[in-house]
Amino acid sequence: MQTYVQQAPWPEGTVPEGPLAKATIVTLFQLAHTVGLLGSINCCVLWAARKHLWSQPTIQEKVVRALLTPLLLGDFLHIALTVWALGEDKWDVNKWEGTLWITIITGFTLMIPRIAWHLGVGRYSERRDGQSGNKF
């Protein structure tokens, strides 16, 4: 049976010899930049929708849905592809390393509020913000 090594091509318990390759460092910085950019876009769009569309809850809902729907799809795909890439060891959580745990936990931490929003939790802004015209 082939041994599957997670996250690194060198033997477990050892560190790589010499510095990491430039391509590896660039890839890590690009990944960090992408994650930071997605987080910034998420915060800015949600803040702007709440601040500038407070009087138009229907449009606010459409803007937030346009943001959260692709992010939710990305959450599902990210977790599914991460688990799929683990191969035969996917359910052997004792072999999971810290980076993998952080990836899975962060993925669910982001995905659960997005699912809750799509299910209607906290969405009815006309009641939440005390606006008139209560339809319910």
Q: What is the pLDDT of residue 70?
A: 96
> Residue 10: pLDDT band by 50, 70, 90 thresholds?
low
**What does DSSP assign to residue 3?**
P
d(CA 90, CA 80): 11
Q: Specify whether the CB–CB gap between 57 and 131 falls below 8 A.
A: yes
pLDDT digits (tens, 9 = 90+) for 92-114: 888 888 888 998 999 999 999 99
Mean confidence (pLDDT) of the chain: 83
**What does DSSP assign to residue 123?**
-
Residue 130, phi-psi category: left (phi > 0), alpha (psi -120 to 50), beta (remainder): left
Q: What is the pLDDT of residue 129?
A: 57
CA 67 to chain centre: 13
